[in-house]
């Protein structure tokens, strides 16, 4: 019996000498643009575009020609505003360490939705 207690004590001490490594799983709180497109429409008899966007993990969202906007939403712009050039959506987090940028390029327009060029950067 004493032999068994000594053996269990030694085994217990040897197991305590090994630590289970701590695993650090990074939390990805980077802002991400999940939707950003423009769709042509008619407002009255005037050609217009509905720009729609949705972001996740962002605290600050800006669109060129418009400025600061909600984290997700849509708005209607005129054809003249649409033709000014690329429409850039920039989503950043509270400390601006990560930024996600998407661009609507009118020169790549399709019939129903405008394709976007999507790039992610880190400052």
Break the chain into its structural domains and give their ranges: 30-122
**Nearest-angstrom CA–CA distance, 87 and 117:** 10
The average confidence (pLDDT) of the chain is 79
Residue 53 contacts by C-beta under 8 Å, 6 or more apart in sequence?
33, 35, 36, 61, 63, 69, 72, 73, 74, 89, 102
Determine the pLDDT at residue 97: 74
What does the pLDDT look like over 70-115, one tens digit per residue? 999 999 999 988 988 899 999 998 876 789 999 998 765 443 344 4
pLDDT tens string 29-60 = 889 999 999 999 998 889 999 999 999 999 99
Angle, vertex CA 88, rays to CA 115 and CA 36, nearest 5: 45
């Amino acid at each position: 019996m004493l032999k068994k207690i000594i053996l269990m004590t030694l085994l217990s001490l040897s197991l305590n000498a090994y630590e289970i490594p701590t695993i650090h799983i990074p939390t990805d709180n980077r802002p991400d643009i999940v939707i950003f497109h423009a769709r042509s429409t008619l407002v009255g008899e005037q050609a217009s575009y509905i720009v729609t966007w949705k972001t996740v993990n962002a605290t600050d969202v800006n669109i060129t020609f418009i400025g600061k906007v909600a984290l997700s939403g849509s708005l209607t712009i005129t054809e003249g505003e649409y033709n000014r050039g690329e429409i850039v959506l920039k989503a950043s987090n509270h400390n601006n360490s990560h930024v996600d940028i998407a661009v609507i390029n009118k020169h790549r327009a399709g019939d129903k939705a405008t394709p976007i060029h999507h790039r992610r950067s880190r400052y």
